[in-house]
Chain A
Amino acid sequence: MKLSSSHSDDLKVRYRYFVIAISVFFIFILSRIWYLQIVRGDEFLQLAKNNRIRIRRVPASRGMILDRNGNILVDNRPSFQVSLVPEDIDDLNQVLPEMSRILHMDQKELRLRITRHNGRQPFYPVLIKSDISREQLAFLETHKMDLPGMVVDVIPRRSYSYNSLASHLVGYLGEIDQTELNEMKSSGYRQGDFIGKTGVEKQWESSLRGVDGGRQIEVDSVGREVRILSSVPPRPGNNVVLTIDLEVQKAVEDLLVGKIGAAVAIDPMSGRILAMASSPSFNPDLFASGICREDWITLLNTPFHPLQNKAIQGQYPPGSVFKIITAAAALEEGLLTPDETLECPGFFTLGRKTYRCWKKGGHGTVNLRRALVESCDVFFYQVALRLGIDTIAKYARQFGFGKPTGIRLGGEKPGLMPTTVWKQRKYHEAWYDGETLVSGIGQGAILVTPIQMANMISAIANGGILYRPQLVQRVEDVNGNVIEQYPSTVMSRVSVSKKTLQIIRQALRGVVEDPRGTGKAARIEGVPVFGKTGTAQVVKLETFEEMENEQDLPIRYRDHAWFVAYACRQNPSIAVAVLIQHGGHGASAAAPVARRIIEAVLHQDHPLHKRIALGERSSAESN
């Protein structure tokens, strides 16, 4: 459409407005430039010349990590660190000898640190030494005048009240790496920051980390603070309250001293973890100020990986504990009745191969209860064959095997529950009956983690509910106000009838109580304990296969010992899974450990027992 004259006139009026508006905007901007460059030009020039305004970060202290009763597991302590601003040093030869004398550091190394650029911004302090002693601090402060460019900061460092206690749960801190920095830059992270690398420190990083403060200071020509222009105090991070109980955790860790393995104690009615330990362990304090190379290499080279949390990352064959699943599957599928008996002559022949029972002479005629109580292999070989691997796998998955439990700890392994499809896909081979047979007693390709075992036995105890194992109860701010609550979460329900569960429970009670039960070592006077032993075979070299005495074997060829159990006074109060890696037999190596964990929790005067019995149970159930 062409512009008519009236439109044109109309627009012309507005053009004038726009010309005026644009001119006003430009005058406005020019006057600001005039103010900055002419009126205050000299002042800014002075500031620019020496970069007289410096920014010093005031790091926020991380939130504390506490147990369920408010005991502080991880706190912060003040630590002093000394840095140098190279731009403020005219003569390095004056500063370095003095620094090296006070800090006991090699002069060459000091010089290298200062001269190396590493993408540092100008006037940004170079860290020389962290965690200096109070004597060194006093020395430095008294020689301040001879040390231009020196900056001493107070930095909060992690402090571990109970050394290595719960180290795998709380995790450790480390300096942010380049990948993390790229991902988290927008959240305010900077080079040199410490962030959670594993455990709760990592998973609850955003809650634990506070907000750094800062000071804008004016410095003199050698970088000494003249005055503070403005400052913003740091905001400490939130506190994370765990579900674990310090006393139980201590007991569990003490029981694992000198052993390789893991133990998990869980409240079966809520999925809340009461204790979780992995051995060997490590001291997270090594990481608090940045781990040195020697310590790191030592940790990596220590046998049986102290940094690995075996409770969630260790994958082992479940051994005879798995018979619980085989039994449940057979009862549910109607392929076995509780009273049906099968023969155990001590071996079972399939095709040309003979599969043995652990009891050489055999168990004779056994029903399901006896087969579980005495852990008869031959009975379960036959039951497994009736079921087939895919049906066994269906029930195993319902009990949480073959997939991560969902505990928010990072790095959790899924274990493995083989099926015919899995084998075809992985090895392009058909599944053999022999494999089904050994799977029925928890050998072969099946792999489980201790946390999965604890979850499975919890489901038996609580009537078939699979909870998501929970390690954090709530997050609180520094004043104790609850920021986030974590109610217990039901992941799924096992489709196994009450009757089946009842039959299994009775058998598990027999495992501990019956004179011929394999779990006698877990018996506690006056407390009904329900359990199952397991001994998972480790693939041995032929040379060692015929060795009768376990103690004569090199440690890495000894069997893994399992014991899972739950116990109660009125309702199930605790479920445990204990794995002693290369510990030998479940009955002798794992069951006594489980018993003592249960004792620690169910101790008459233990406050936890009362609380579980009263308050927390109802809230957990309502969720």
Chain B
Amino acid sequence: MLNLIDRRLIDHLDWSLILLVSSLMTIGLLNLYSTTLGETLNGVPIYLRQAIWFSLGFLVMFLVAFVDYRHYQTFAYVIFPASLVPLLILLAYHLMTGGVHRWIRIGPISFQPSEPVKISLVLALSRFFSKNVKADGYLLRDLIIPFFGTAVAAALILLQPDLGTAMVLFLILFSILFFVKIRLKSFLFLTLSGLATLPLVWNSLKGYQKDRILAFFDPGLDPLGSGYHIQQAKIAIGSGGLTGKGFLGGAYTKLGFIPARHTDFVLCNLAEEWGFVGLVVLLVLFLLVLLLGLQISLRSKDRFGAITAFGVVAMIFWHTFTNVGMVLGMMPVVGIPLPFLSYGGSSTITVMVGIGLLLNISMRRYVF
């Protein structure tokens, strides 16, 4: 098999990125083991299920890394609309059953079709901006297509309703726009238009989503629901102190005061058990992954690679920043997983595809 692959690619594999990702995964797994001790999903311990997802993620990462990313460029405009098909299926199902589901179940595996859209959007935007270069910066009229594509995907996701993921798509788009240089006027216009659509977005939110946002500004508004969660998360994190209560010692999180303690609020347990020191280590690891990603983008030999790598960095950054900010009570609860730490198959695979793309771009910087 290795004979089929250019030896130089193996030589240029970014081991530091793999090491960083592996470290984050190990921390994630240990933390998940601690926070879900004794809990199972369909009879399988949660940490074990996540270990399987991580293994699959690694496999996918290498698969993605070893297929020349220029192929992804060729098929970017096919991949993006194809990734929206499951969303349409889900929407049709919603209309038929009147129910609300974010998942498509195939046998024992559930998958969240909104997750791969993030990657396919990065690829489509990268292709668009690598083929349409405006050295002086993009004008509003140049951005109609990427904006429309993102809006369609975000709208389909918002209908599920998954506010967090829809928001991430726009954050990715805006990050890339900055990266490829948008004219100041166009940027201001887009920002103002975005603000103008806020009432529309607000009205399309479900009651509980509105409550979460309102509770952020005034936790007293919903002391039993969102306000309660914010308050309890703060107690759990704060009680960790400088060095934490030690591995398996995070009683507060484990006793069930924290909602979604193995998914969106998974950081609480880590903060409680490893304290300030633990969080600093974790955040530094994240910072290094992001900086390394930026470096890969900078060193990329072509514009598509540079934008793709940057898009992946933006995706991981916004996930990390939004999740941590939410758990720390710095922003409203929107339901976004923390990469490498939150339990979840679809999000794990999506992030690992992103890492695979980074490795891909990194190891081909000398090839052509």
Q: Do the beta carbons of A3 and B303 come within 8 Å of each other?
A: yes
- Report A416-459 residues with CB < 8 Å from chain B CB: none
* Closest residue of A by beta carbon distance from B244: A37
- Interface status of B298 (Cβ within 8 A of chain A): yes
CB distance from A444 to the nearest CB of B (A): 39
CB B102 to nearest CB in A, in angstroms, measures 13
CB neighbors of B among A38-85 (8 A): 38, 40-45, 47-49, 51, 53, 55, 57
How many angstroms between the C-alpha atoms of A188 and B275 in the bound complex? 33
B322 to chain A, nearest CB (A): 11
A230 at the interface (CB under 8 A from B): yes
Tell me if A15 counts as interface (CB < 8 A to partner B): yes
| Nearest-neighbor residue (CB-CB) of B228 within chain A | A55
Q: Is B208 an interface residue (CB 8 A)?
A: yes
Interchain CB contact under 8 A, A37 and B223: no
Given contacts A29-B324, A41-B242, contact A22 B257 (CB under 8 A): no
Q: Are B231 and A53 in contact (CB under 8 A)?
A: yes
Chain B residues with CB under 8 A of A29: 283, 321, 324-325, 328, 330
Kindly state the interface size class of chain A when it binds its partner: 35 or more
With CB as the reference atom, state the residue of chain A lying closest to B287: A26
Q: Which residue of B lies closest to A49 (CB)?
A: B239
B252–A10 CB distance below 8 A: no
A33 touches B279 (CB 8 A): yes
In the complex, which residues of chain A have a beta carbon less than 8 angstroms from the beta carbon of B283? 26, 29-30
Establish whether residues B256 and A44, one from each chain, have CB atoms under 8 Å apart when the complex forms: no
CB <8 Å contact, A32 and B330? yes
Judged by a CB distance under 8 angstroms, whether A358 is at the interface is: no
Minimum C-beta distance from B62 to chain A (A): 26
Q: Which of A22, A33, A187 contacts B290 (CB 8 A)?
A: A22
A192-218 residues with Cβ-Cβ distance < 8 A to B are: 212, 214-216
> Is the pair B228, A33 in contact by a Cβ cutoff of 8 Å?
no
Across the interface, A45 reaches (CB within 8 A) one of B222, B238, B297, B317, namely B238
- Would B223 and A33 count as touching, CB distance under 8 A? no
B157: Cβ under 8 A from any A Cβ:
no
Interface string of B156-168 (1 = CB under 8 A from A): 0000000000000
Contact residues of B between 269 and 303, Cβ < 8 Å to A: 271-272, 275-276, 279-280, 283, 286-287, 290-291, 294, 297-298, 300-303
* Contact of B236 with A by CB under 8 A: yes
A1 at the interface (CB under 8 A from B): yes
| A3 x B306 contact (CB < 8 A) | yes
| Cα–Cα distance between A230 and B324 once the two chains are bound (Å) | 26
Enumerate A1-47 residues with CB–CB distance to B below 8 Å. 1-3, 6-7, 10-12, 14-15, 18-19, 22-23, 25-26, 29-30, 32-34, 36-38, 40-45, 47
Q: List chain A residues, Cβ under 8 A from B280.
A: 30, 33
Alpha-carbon distance between A19 and B287 when the two chains are bound, in angstroms = 10
Pair A36/B291 contact, Cβ less than 8 Å: no
Q: Is the CB of A232 within 8 A of B223?
A: yes
In the complex, which of the residues B130, B255, B287 contacts A122, with contact meaning CB atoms closer than 8 Å? B255
Q: How far is the CA of A41 from the CA of B244 in the complex (A)?
A: 10
Give the docked Cα–Cα distance between A122 and B256 (Å).
7
Residues of A within 8 A of B238 (CB): 36-37, 40-41, 43-45, 47-48
Q: Whole-angstrom distance between the alpha carbons of A44 and B240 in the complex?
A: 8
Q: A19, B294: Cβ atoms under 8 Å? A: yes
B93 within 8 A of A: no
Smallest distance from the beta carbon of B35 to chain A beta carbons, Å? 15
A230 touches B208 (CB 8 A): no
Taking the complex as formed, is B178 at the interface, i.e. its CB lies under 8 A from any CB of chain A? yes
Given the interface pairs A15-B294, A48-B235, the reply to whether A1 lies near B304 with Cβ below 8 Å is yes
Task: From A6, A18, A37, A212, name the one whose CB has the most chain B CB atoms within 10 angstroms.
Answer: A37
* Complex Cα gap A232–B228 (Å): 12
How far in angstroms is the closest Cβ of chain A from B240?
A: 6
Provide the residues of chain B in CB contact with A45, threshold 8 Å. 238-239, 241
User: Is there a chain B Cβ closer than 8 Å to A302's Cβ?
Assistant: no
Within the complex, the shortest CB–CB distance from B101 to chain A, in Å, comes to: 12
Q: Which residues of the other chain, A, contact B86 by a CB distance below 8 angstroms?
A: none
Complex interface: chain A residues within 8 A of B324 (CB): 29
- CB-CB under 8 A from B291, the residues of chain A are 19, 22
Please tell me if B221 contacts chain A, counting CB pairs below 8 Å.
yes
What is the chain A residue whose CB lies nearest that of B233?
A36
A1 touches B239 (CB 8 A): no
Docked Cα-Cα span, A22 to B178, in Å, equals 14
Q: Is B131 an interface residue (CB 8 A)?
A: yes
**Bound form: Cα–Cα A41–B223 in Å:** 22
Q: List 23 A-B contacts (CB under 8 A).
A: A1-B303, A2-B302, A3-B300, A3-B302, A10-B135, A10-B181, A11-B298, A18-B179, A19-B291, A25-B317, A25-B321, A33-B271, A37-B242, A42-B241, A44-B234, A44-B237, A44-B238, A48-B235, A48-B236, A48-B272, A49-B239, A55-B223, A186-B206
Besides A1-B133, A23-B287, A48-B235, 18 new A-B residue pairs in contact (Cβ under 8 A), listed by A number: A2-B303, A3-B302, A7-B133, A10-B181, A11-B179, A14-B178, A29-B324, A30-B279, A36-B237, A44-B234, A44-B235, A45-B238, A49-B239, A51-B252, A55-B224, A214-B223, A231-B223, A232-B221
